[in-house]
Structure 1
Amino acid sequence: MNTESPTSGSRAGRRRGGAKAGSTPTRTDTAAPNASQPPGTVRPGGRTARTRAAVRDAVLTGLTEHGYPGLTVEYVAEHSGVHKTTLYRRWGGVEGLVADALDLAGEDSWTPPDTGTLEGDLRALAREVYDTFSDPATAAAPSAFIAAAFQSERAADALRGFYAERFARCADVVRRAVERGEAPAGTDADAVVRAVSAPLFFRVLITREPLDEALADQTAAAVHAAVSAGAYTTSDTTGATPGGATG
């Protein structure tokens, strides 16, 4: 699911009209950020969306081609058309570039599926993970972001923020299920989202096995059964879906 894909290169991203990697806009320089802020932690006023997207695309391409250790400011400058002194001034270096690329990936309009049933929504979410990681063209960038998070605490913080925001959107899936009586009140939405994607990520990142739709559907069915049985309810309302009637 796009929940698990911090890149505009995903199929869902292309449907939204996200910029594709490899675009080469003209070189653009604008005002530097406030000097009191650490480089790369704020979005400087005045820079165009096109410039920021070009930088993001160059970061994605560089991560995919060379990994985090091989990504350089010089590479991003060459492939984005933004001068390296501007990149250093605004983003501070590679860590800031990767963090901002993740921030930008989280600014899309993606919404979780709404099929009318919890089981259908969970299956659709699982199949989005399958769709993303079964295609090398769309799997490369999110895989590179995840790898970068193991090598940079700044990238790890940005990745956690990306997924926290995605989980917040996915809370609607569980909220609707509670309202329909398909899930108990107090069902932990974050736990449900993690459960429906974890087996797929285990294959992709740990055992390096291929994915298939059967695994996605099996995972969704298992999580649906667990939700119905109350396995994800919690007495702590933090992170749980508020309100709704019990089934």
Structure 2
Amino acid sequence: MGHTGAAEDTAASDHASDPTPGSIRPGGRTARVREAVLRAAGDLLAEYGFAALDLAEVAARAEVGKTTVYRRWRNPAGLVADLLVDMAETSLPHSDTGSLRGDLLANARLVGKTLTDARQGRLFRAIIAAATSDDTAAAALRAFYDTRLAEWSPCVEAAVARGEVPPGTDPRAVLSAVSAPLYYRLLASGDPVDEAAVSTAATAAALAAEQGVFISGPARSTR
């Protein structure tokens, strides 16, 4: 398997002015086609990685015409971008346990469950690998995490309102501190992403937040 050839490149250039993949929400049959194509693309990414993602193979697996795939997604990076949009939209909403530590533990467990899933773990490895070499994939991955951080930021904002953490605490920094050690285990150390790792990541982030480690902006200079 390999990337698309000259014919596919021509098809992509013919539609260079088309909307960015993922920027239009389809309905009806178009929505079903999108669902089938993104499922096939995700399976192929998990099985073979980004370097082997081929639009013709995606079309075959999804039982969709090649022309449809080339016209709508244009190239493998376009598929990755739309796949990440779909993943962000279908991810679970943030928790509201009544405490920052409880919310961060729920967040850490969600991240851990995703990274240890047989399909999703391999899929994220492939997407992250794609983002290291393709600007479109990198932008899509940043947008995915922006969406997820925005979804969970109210947990930290509520903790500020309850007085659990100081005013000026940066929600993105707190949430990133939860997930970063879990991704490190997945991508670098190879250590297990187990319940102990999940609990430690959430507790460490909560303790640091309570101590004002994640205060940003003018609030930091007043401490």
TM-score scaled by structure 1?
Answer: 0.76
Alpha-carbon distance change, 184 to 106 in structure 1, aligned in 2, over 3 angstroms:
same
Alpha-carbon distance change, 36 to 220 in structure 1, aligned in 2, over 3 angstroms:
closer
- Is 1:235 aligned to 2:197, yes or no? no
CA contact (8 A) 1:103 1:162 kept: yes
- Is 1:118 aligned to 2:100, yes or no? yes
The 5-angstrom pairing of residues 73-222 of structure 1 reads: 73-108=55-90, 110-222=92-204
1:60 pairs, out of 42, 48, 59, with 42
CA-to-partner distance for each residue in 1:105-156, whole Å, 9 max, x for gaps? 2222621111111111111111222222233243222222222212321111
In 2: Cα distance, 1:109 partner to 1:81 partner: 26
Number of equivalenced pairs: 206
Structure 2 unaligned runs (5+)?
1-13
In 2: Cα distance, 1:228 partner to 1:50 partner: 46
C-alpha displacement of 1:89: 1.3
CA-to-partner distance for each residue in 1:77-107, whole Å, 9 max, x for gaps? 1011111111111211212111111112222
Amino acid at match of 1:37: D
C-alpha displacement of 1:226: 0.9
Alpha-carbon distance change, 34 to 64 in structure 1, aligned in 2, over 3 angstroms:
closer
Amino acid at match of 1:79: R
C-alpha displacement of 1:165: 0.9
- Is 1:37 aligned to 2:10, yes or no? no
C-alpha displacement of 1:38: 5.7
In 2: Cα distance, 1:84 partner to 1:185 partner: 53
CA contact (8 A) 2:169 2:216 kept: yes
Alpha-carbon distance change, 41 to 178 in structure 1, aligned in 2, over 3 angstroms:
closer
The answer to which structure has the higher helix fraction is 2
Once superposed, which parts of structure 1, at least 4 consecutive aligned residues long, lie more than 4 Å away?
44-47
Aligned-residue sequence identity (percent) comes to 43
Alpha-carbon distance change, 163 to 207 in structure 1, aligned in 2, over 3 angstroms:
same
In 1: Cα distance, 2:25 partner to 2:102 partner: 42
In 2: Cα distance, 1:109 partner to 1:61 partner: 18
CA-to-partner distance for each residue in 1:141-189, whole Å, 9 max, x for gaps? 2222222212321111101001001111111110110111111111100
Of stretches 52-61 and 203-212 in structure 1, the one that deviates more from structure 2 is 203-212
CA contact (8 A) 1:59 1:97 kept: yes
In 2: Cα distance, 1:52 partner to 1:111 partner: 23
In 1: Cα distance, 2:93 partner to 2:20 partner: 31
Alpha-carbon distance change, 236 to 111 in structure 1, aligned in 2, over 3 angstroms:
farther
Amino acid at match of 2:39: D
CA contact (8 A) 1:34 1:44 kept: no
TM-score scaled by structure 2?
Answer: 0.84
In 2: Cα distance, 1:148 partner to 1:122 partner: 28
C-alpha displacement of 1:206: 0.9
Alpha-carbon distance change, 123 to 77 in structure 1, aligned in 2, over 3 angstroms:
same
In 2: Cα distance, 1:126 partner to 1:147 partner: 22
* Secondary structure in 2 matching 1:48: helix
